[in-house]
A and B are shown apart, each in its own frame.
Chain A
Amino acid sequence: MTVKFNYPLAMIAFRQLFNRKRQTFLTLLGISVGVMVLITAVSLMDGLLQSFIQKIVEIAPHVIVSGEKVKPTVPDQLVDSDSSTQVRMIKNVSRSDQEVIKNYPRVETLIKSDSLVELVSPSVSIDVIGMFGTVSQPIQLFGIIPSLENGIEKFSQNMVSGKFDELEKTPDGILLGSTVAKDLTAKTEDRMQLVSPSGKVYSVRVVGIFMTGINDIDDNCYVNMRLGQNIGGFSPDETSNLYIRVKDLPKDGIVARTIEQVTNYKAETWEQKAASVVALFKMMSGIVYFLVFFVILVAGFGVANVLITNVLEKARDIAIMKSLGFKRSEITLIYMLQGTMVALVGAAIGCLLGFVMIEILSSIPMVSSSASAIRTDRLLMGKNPVYFVAASLFALIVSLIAAVGPSRNAAKVNPVEILRGER
């Protein structure tokens, strides 16, 4: 090896490692595998979360306005205040516990006046029973204005069969989520029945089936706004929700707060809606990282091991270096450098292996499972340089911590004892 001799400490560190090829190699392997496993795990967990968020952002409303009031309704005064008796009461007219947005076209205009809002789509939600042949099952039904809702949920891109445009042209048409279609065994052009909460039966025709990959959405079915309002018993200017897409996503929180102030209706962002799923993802990630942490920890023991052996075996050389005028701090540095070298080379190899691992894993076809929040045919691996930097940094820190003990012991070597002990 011809390496420049400008830095004697680094040279000593390097050559001592290089002279113990097998042990150094095994230690490198430990670090590499640790870094690889860490990168793969982070990529897997982060990939799942990111693709979930991306999907949501792509096909779910950014802000959902519901009929719930932010501030409670002010009681109506029934008797003039100057009279001796006062009676106050809240009108008890709410339909079961359904909360609705009244006079929604006005609210919609109000919301649209915010320049950050791209699209507002009213949506009536009703719990119904769907029946096809002998199969019946509860369905979350939505009454929508197809052209508007398509701008939010992007049905037309996710059609499995039929045409999305048909819905607008078919007053009694219904669009089925793939999960519902599978459960009911219904196909496009089939006729099926919906039973409303009040017990009325509506006959509808399946115009298409869609699949987004997000199970929450694929469980839903969609009809035209008018039909939805009829089934749910809403008046023509009432809706249960307004779905909003914002122009600049990070500002969805601002939009939601503005809407709450202006309309007094509760507005939730997708982050709030998806919080529980995101939290679940984070908890899973936490468990995985915790396990991977031990892999790196074991690699750290490897580093400590190679350094302890080096220091023990090199006690004589350390003594001689001290007698030549190397200081304690420099002896410490030699072994800290060894820890750093092993960590850096190990991390570099680990990054390479991690990259290969991600490529391999993300190319393996997988049977989709309906148990997860999103459905895919492959593992969704995240690809972000940050994983590599973070994993390398972590390996470096663990190695340096592992190197501290042996390095200090090296500095403590008493040259007199060693030089004397030789005879």
Chain B
Amino acid sequence: MDDPIIKLEHVSKELIMKNGREEIVTTILPDISLDIRRGEFTSITGPSGSGKTTLLYLIGGLDKPTSGNAFLDGEEISSMDEEQLAEIRNAKLGFVYQFHFLLPEFNALENVMMPMLARGRVPVNEAKKRAAELLTQLGLPDKLHNKPNQLSGGQQQRVAVARALANNPIVILADEPTGNLDSKSAEVIYRLFTKLNEETGQTIVVVTHDEHFASETKRLVHILDGQIDSDKKLR
């Protein structure tokens, strides 16, 4: 339990923007180191543009650091190529975004099945069964065959959480998961995450603006100008 499941070592991220012939280099994260242990429920807060989302993408292998090393479950993901990262994202990570990002052509059940079928590691029947179970657990037993546009915002986000859980990820990464929801739906999502963490020991990292949500988690990391401003253990 002591070896961190997520480890960032002196990670920096610069964005190079081309403006005609000029190249403008913007440093988003100058140098950040962070360890997250198995079973931790961490929230990352900070003002807009502080680099918290970039930090999350680096942890999730969606983006690569400019320098420094990022490890996930003992593997160095910062040196992997795009195909390897796709494997890792599929097998070990579950993402929840501010917007549900469900595929509009597919119903709830099919959306949840998608990560299981993407790499073909789960047979269709099994995937279907598991997807139905997950959606039932998340309180949507009667919405399996609804298309995303037939669901409310809160329901869509719950489908997205079910999809993130589909492949039994070792870490769930959420980027403003309640940012687009009314307070009642947001509350449902908080409780969902808390329950997941408490009952199954699921490691969760949430980027959020929401002070109330952040205060419910076990660890609160505050980012300011790409640096860790404070790192508090709440429980």
List, in ascending order, chain B residues with CB within 8 A of A4's CB. 124
0/1 string, A315-330, CB within 8 A of B gives 1: 0110111111111111
0/1 string, B153-196, CB within 8 A of A gives 1: 00000000001000000000001100100000000000000000
Query: Contacts A8-B117, A15-B106, A416-B62 given: A324-B97 contact, CB under 8 Å?
Result: no
List, in ascending order, chain B residues with CB within 8 A of A423's CB. 98, 176, 179
Instruction: Name which residue of chain A comes closest to B58, CB basis.
Output: A416
CB of B124 within 8 A of CB of A328, answer: no
List, in ascending order, chain A residues with CB within 8 A of B124's CB. 4-6
Instruction: Name which residue of chain B comes closest to A320, CB basis.
Output: B101
List, in ascending order, chain A residues with CB within 8 A of B175's CB. 419
Instruction: Name which residue of chain A comes closest to B121, CB basis.
Output: A325
CB of A325 within 8 A of CB of B57, answer: no
Query: Contacts A5-B110, A323-B89 given: A12-B103 contact, CB under 8 Å?
Result: yes
Contact of A16 with B by CB under 8 A: yes
Q: Within the assembled complex, what's the spacing in Å between the Cα atoms of A328 and B110? A: 21
CB of A325 within 8 A of CB of B105, answer: no
CB of A327 within 8 A of CB of B86, answer: yes
Q: Within the assembled complex, what's the spacing in Å between the Cα atoms of A12 and B99? A: 20
Q: Within the assembled complex, what's the spacing in Å between the Cα atoms of A415 and B118? A: 16
Instruction: Name which residue of chain A comes closest to B87, CB basis.
Output: A325
Q: Which of A18, A319, A422 contacts B98 (CB 8 A)?
A: A422
Q: Within the assembled complex, what's the spacing in Å between the Cα atoms of A35 and B57? A: 48
List, in ascending order, chain B residues with CB within 8 A of A327's CB. 82-83, 86
Query: Contacts A19-B104, A415-B62 given: A328-B117 contact, CB under 8 Å?
Result: no
Nearest-neighbour CB distance to chain B for A311, whole angstroms, equals 15
Within 8 A of B (CB), among A4-27: 4-6, 8, 11-12, 15-16, 18-19
List, in ascending order, chain A residues with CB within 8 A of B53's CB. 420
Q: Within the assembled complex, what's the spacing in Å between the Cα atoms of A320 and B102? A: 8
CB of B105 within 8 A of CB of A416, answer: no
Contact of B90 with A by CB under 8 A: yes
Query: Contacts A415-B62, A416-B63 given: A325-B98 contact, CB under 8 Å?
Result: no
List, in ascending order, chain A residues with CB within 8 A of B128's CB. 5
Q: Within the assembled complex, what's the spacing in Å between the Cα atoms of A416 and B113? A: 23
Interface size, chain A (Cβ < 8 Å): 30
Q: Which of B82, B98, B101, B104 has the most CB of A within 10 A?
A: B101
Query: Contacts A6-B124, A416-B62 given: A326-B83 contact, CB under 8 Å?
Result: no
List, in ascending order, chain B residues with CB within 8 A of A11's CB. 106, 110
Contact of B115 with A by CB under 8 A: yes
Q: Which of A6, A16, A324, A416 contacts B57 (CB 8 A)?
A: A416
CB of B89 within 8 A of CB of A324, answer: yes
CB of A323 within 8 A of CB of B62, answer: yes
Nearest-neighbour CB distance to chain B for A19, whole angstroms, equals 5
Q: Within the assembled complex, what's the spacing in Å between the Cα atoms of A412 and B103? A: 19
Q: Which of A5, A15, A16, A326 contacts B118 (CB 8 A)?
A: A326
Instruction: Name which residue of chain A comes closest to B120, CB basis.
Output: A8
Nearest-neighbour CB distance to chain B for A303, whole angstroms, equals 20
Nearest-neighbour CB distance to chain A for B99, whole angstroms, equals 6
CB of B62 within 8 A of CB of A320, answer: no
Nearest-neighbour CB distance to chain B for A177, whole angstroms, equals 70
The size class of the interface chain B forms with chain A is: 20 to 34
Q: Within the assembled complex, what's the spacing in Å between the Cα atoms of A8 and B110? A: 9
Within 8 A of A (CB), among B39-91: 53, 57, 60, 62-63, 82-83, 86-87, 89-91
Q: Within the assembled complex, what's the spacing in Å between the Cα atoms of A327 and B89? A: 10
List, in ascending order, chain B residues with CB within 8 A of A8's CB. 113-114, 117-118
List, in ascending order, chain B residues with CB within 8 A of A422's CB. 97-99
Instruction: Name which residue of chain B comes closest to A325, CB basis.
Output: B90
Instruction: Name which residue of chain B comes closest to A323, CB basis.
Output: B95
Nearest-neighbour CB distance to chain B for A223, whole angstroms, equals 81
CB of A324 within 8 A of CB of B98, answer: no
List, in ascending order, chain A residues with CB within 8 A of B106's CB. 11, 15
CB of A16 within 8 A of CB of B98, answer: no
List, in ascending order, chain A residues with CB within 8 A of B87's CB. 325
Q: Within the assembled complex, what's the spacing in Å between the Cα atoms of A385 and B124? A: 39
CB of A322 within 8 A of CB of B86, answer: yes
Contact of B119 with A by CB under 8 A: yes
0/1 string, B20-44, CB within 8 A of A gives 1: 0000000000000000000000000
List, in ascending order, chain A residues with CB within 8 A of B113's CB. 5, 8
Q: Within the assembled complex, what's the spacing in Å between the Cα atoms of A330 and B113? A: 17
List, in ascending order, chain A residues with CB within 8 A of B90's CB. 324-326
Q: Within the assembled complex, what's the spacing in Å between the Cα atoms of A19 and B118? A: 21
Instruction: Name which residue of chain A comes closest to B61, CB basis.
Output: A323
Instruction: Name which residue of chain A comes closest to B102, CB basis.
Output: A320
Q: Within the assembled complex, what's the spacing in Å between the Cα atoms of A323 and B118? A: 11
List, in ascending order, chain B residues with CB within 8 A of A420's CB. 53
List, in ascending order, chain B residues with CB within 8 A of A18's CB. 105
Q: Within the assembled complex, what's the spacing in Å between the Cα atoms of A11 and B105? A: 10
CB of A316 within 8 A of CB of B101, answer: yes
List, in ascending order, chain B residues with CB within 8 A of A323's CB. 60, 62, 89, 95
Q: Within the assembled complex, what's the spacing in Å between the Cα atoms of A12 and B97? A: 21
| Given pairs A8-B118, A328-B86, 10 additional interface contacts (CB within 8 A) | A316-B101, A320-B97, A320-B103, A323-B60, A324-B90, A324-B115, A325-B90, A327-B83, A415-B62, A416-B57
Q: Lowest 10 A-B CB distances belong to which pairs?
A: A325-B90, A15-B105, A320-B101, A8-B117, A327-B86, A324-B115, A416-B63, A325-B89, A325-B118, A325-B86
A residues neighboring B (CB under 8 Å): 4-6, 8, 11-12, 15-16, 18-19, 316-317, 319-330, 415-416, 419-420, 422-423
| 8 residue pairs A–B, Cβ–Cβ below 8 Å | A5-B124, A15-B105, A16-B105, A323-B95, A325-B89, A325-B91, A416-B62, A419-B97
